């Protein structure tokens, strides 16, 4: 009982908790899986965009006279050749690896600060080599859009004359100027073509071709959107200090997966970033479904646990109640049995002698007090010893039991029938006149005499002698009455047995 009471709920609780935990664990891991899926999707998209952008910039580069640069630097004795934007970004260079970087040469800074003039030759050392260089400006619509940085190795000229103003050098300068003017025209041309092809439109087209991409933007070092598939976004400044981790955000009631990755697309030296927004609603749906499943699983587990707990509780209650009842019943029966056992005769089931005497005394007292009649009869089996000897004790016992039963059947419920001695049976008949009692006695005698007792294969004829008496005025206790009945019985035996004799003071017993 105790075990059931405390262990089962704990077990159930653990069960529910573990089922819930399992379902939520499942939910979490599935969620993670989905997120990784999203992440790798995003990665794929970023890769393809980057590839496309690089391709785009390659086209751009070619238009920016990559071949010319190569030809110029290989064919003519040119030491360095770059195309710079006014902010110093190297748009093109004979050194492929520095394209996109910011040009940091001291002379360039000085030129941009106005300390040196554009379109004027000067001398400096680059990579341990003495060079003559020039920053040649390119204008469009009267605004500076870029410049060519060109340098030639002049170590040998300096060796020859020891002077920078020598004739050979001047001739070289004229040559270079002619070359630069030619390049200027072709750069202006290519820039025009280039401007017609704009990156924003390219990105826009890209976004439209891919269903779930919402937006692609390139963010520069200052967190300003420089290029975007959504032109209205260009120029907007984002407030993010560092690369935020990929996350799910809600934008205009739409669940969007946002990822920002480093990209060297705008400017190789700086951490420009590529921001990618992907529609995450399919993901959200999936996630919701998963969550629901997890919740339902937990709820069902909880429900079943409750039902089981309730059932167990009630059955336990029921069992304890019936157990109690059973016990009570048992106790009652036992006490009764003990009670009955102490009052009855084991063989015949009739009252025993002790009880009979108690009853005699009680009933006699009562009868005397209320002035009622009371009669008694003593029934004795005739020749009982002979039965025992002839058929055995078992037969004797059987006869006794049989006779007792018949006697009980013949009397009323209110009468007491008891075994007084070996084969003597006493019947107390309260509130019964002697006449009535005599009738009953006669009835008993006849019934017994008429029906022999069948024991195994024997048919045993039994007769009884009955002595009777009843309470009269002069009696003070039951003993006298009993003695009278006994005397009458004795007389009946003397008279030849199988008869009823009522005490009469005149009878004389020898």
Partner 1 sequence: MYGGYSERLHLPVIIALICVVVMFQASGNERIQEECNATMPPIPLEFAMGTEAYNEAMDSGKYRYVGNTKCRLCHRKFFIGRKKDPHDYAMKRLEEGGYDDNPRCLLCHSTGYGMPTGFINRERTPRLANVQCEGCHGPGNIHIKLAKEKKPAGGFLAGEDHPERLKKMCQSCHTKRWNRSYHDLHQAYIKYRNPNPNARRHVKESK
Interacting residues with partner 1 (CB under 8 A): 73-74, 77, 79, 94-95, 127-129, 153, 155-156, 159-160
Q: For 380, phi and psi rounded to 5 degrees?
A: -125, 135
Cβ proximity to partner 1: between 95 and 355 the closer is 95
**Cβ neighbourhood burial of 279 (10 Å; 0-12, 13-18, 19+):** middle
Output the CA torsion 96→99→102→104 (10° steps).
Answer: 20
Residues 6+ apart with CB under 8 A from 427: 376, 377, 378, 379, 407, 411, 415, 416, 417, 418, 440, 444
Minimum Å gap between C-beta 96 and partner 1 is 9
Minimum Å gap between C-beta 60 and partner 1 is 21
Per residue, the 3-state secondary structure of 59-110, as one string, reads HHHHHCCHHHHHHHHHHCCCCEEEEECCCCEEEEECCHHHCCCECCCHHHHH
Cβ proximity to partner 1: between 45 and 176 the closer is 176
Minimum Å gap between C-beta 172 and partner 1 is 13
C-alpha distances (whole Å) from 113 to each of 100, 369, 506 are: 22, 147, 170
Minimum Å gap between C-beta 153 and partner 1 is 6
The DSSP symbol for 351 reads B
Cβ proximity to partner 1: between 77 and 175 the closer is 77
The Cα–Cα gap between 42 and 228 comes to 17
Residue with tokens 């590529």: 274
Beta bridge partners of 256: 249, 279
Residue with tokens 């341990």: 128
Minimum Å gap between C-beta 34 and partner 1 is 41
Cβ proximity to partner 1: between 156 and 339 the closer is 156
C-alpha distances (whole Å) from 377 to each of 361, 435, 484 are: 15, 12, 10
Minimum Å gap between C-beta 79 and partner 1 is 6
Question: What's CA 360's distance to the chain center, in Å?
Answer: 76
Residues 6+ apart with CB under 8 A from 351: 343, 344, 345, 359, 416, 417, 418, 419
Cβ proximity to partner 1: between 105 and 374 the closer is 105
Minimum Å gap between C-beta 188 and partner 1 is 26
Cβ proximity to partner 1: between 151 and 381 the closer is 151
Neighbours of 283 (CB within 10 A): 20
Minimum Å gap between C-beta 128 and partner 1 is 4
Cβ proximity to partner 1: between 90 and 356 the closer is 90
Cβ proximity to partner 1: between 74 and 314 the closer is 74
Cβ proximity to partner 1: between 6 and 128 the closer is 128
Cβ proximity to partner 1: between 97 and 211 the closer is 97
Minimum Å gap between C-beta 100 and partner 1 is 16
Cβ atoms 392, 328 nearer than 8 A? no
Q: For 344, phi and psi rounded to 5 degrees?
A: -110, 165
Minimum Å gap between C-beta 50 and partner 1 is 22
Please spell the DSSP secondary structure of 216-278, one letter per residue.
EEEE-TTSBEEEESSGGGTTPBP--SS-PPPEEEEETTEEEEEEEEEE-SS-TTS-EEEEEEE
Determine which helix (DSSP H) or strand (DSSP E) holds 165, and give its type and residue range: none
Cβ proximity to partner 1: between 156 and 175 the closer is 156
Minimum Å gap between C-beta 71 and partner 1 is 12
């Amino acid at each position: 009982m105790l075990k059931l009471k405390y262990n089962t709920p704990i077990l159930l609780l653990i069960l529910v908790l573990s089922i819930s935990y399992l379902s939520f664990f499942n939910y979490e891991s599935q969620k993670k899986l989905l997120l990784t899926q999203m992440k790798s999707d995003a990665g794929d998209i970023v890769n393809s965009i980057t590839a496309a952008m690089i391709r785009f910039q390659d086209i751009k580069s070619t238009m920016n006279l990559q071949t010319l640069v190569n030809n110029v630097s290989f064919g003519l004795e040119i030491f360095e050749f770059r195309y710079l934007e006014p902010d110093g970004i190297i748009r093109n260079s004979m050194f492929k690896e520095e394209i996109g970087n910011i040009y940091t040469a001291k002379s360039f800074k000085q030129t941009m600060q106005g300390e040196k003039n554009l379109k004027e030759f000067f001398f400096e050392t680059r990579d341990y080599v003495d060079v003559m260089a020039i920053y040649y400006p390119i204008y469009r619509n009267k605004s500076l859009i870029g410049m060519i940085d060109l340098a030639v190795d002049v170590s040998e000229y300096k060796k020859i004359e020891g002077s920078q103003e020598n004739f050979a050098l001047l001739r070289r300068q004229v040559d270079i100027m002619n070359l630069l003017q030619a390049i200027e025209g072709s750069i202006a041309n290519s820039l025009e073509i280039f401007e017609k092809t704009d990156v924003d439109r390219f990105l826009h087209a890209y976004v439209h071709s891919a269903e779930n991409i919402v937006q692609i933007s390139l963010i520069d070092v200052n967190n300003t959107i420089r290029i975007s598939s959504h032109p209205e976004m260009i120029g907007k400044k984002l407030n993010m200090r560092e690369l935020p981790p990929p996350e799910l955000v809600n934008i205009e009631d739409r669940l969007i997966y946002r990822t920002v990755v480093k990209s060297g697309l705008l400017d190789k030296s700086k951490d420009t970033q590529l921001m990618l927004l992907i529609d995450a609603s399919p993901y959200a749906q999936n996630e919701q479904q998963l969550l629901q499943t997890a919740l339902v699983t937990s709820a069902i587990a909880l429900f079943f646990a409750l039902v089981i707990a309730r059932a167990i509780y009630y059955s336990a209650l029921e069992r304890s109640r019936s157990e109690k009842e059973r016990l009570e019943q048992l106790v009652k029966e036992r006490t009764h049995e003990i009670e009955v056992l102490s009052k009855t005769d084991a063989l015949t089931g009739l009252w025993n002698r002790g009880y009979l005497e108690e009853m005699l005394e009680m009933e006699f007292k009562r009868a005397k007090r209320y002035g009622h009649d009371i009669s008694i009869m003593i029934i004795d089996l005739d020749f009982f010893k002979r039965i025992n000897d002839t058929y055995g004790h078992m037969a004797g016992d059987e006869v006794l039991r049989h006779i007792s039963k018949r006697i009980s059947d013949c009397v009323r419920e209110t009468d007491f029938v008891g075994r007084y001695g070996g084969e003597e049976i006493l019947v107390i008949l309260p509130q019964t006149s002697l006449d009535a009692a005599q009738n009953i006695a006669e009835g008993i005698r006849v019934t017994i005499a008429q029906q022999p007792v069948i024991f195994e294969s024997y048919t045993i004829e039994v007769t009884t002698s009955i002595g009777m008496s009843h309470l009269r005025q002069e009696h003070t206790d039951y003993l006298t009455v009993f003695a009278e009945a006994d005397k009458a019985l004795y007389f009946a035996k003397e008279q030849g047995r199988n008869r009823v004799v009522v005490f009469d003071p005149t009878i004389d017993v020898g």
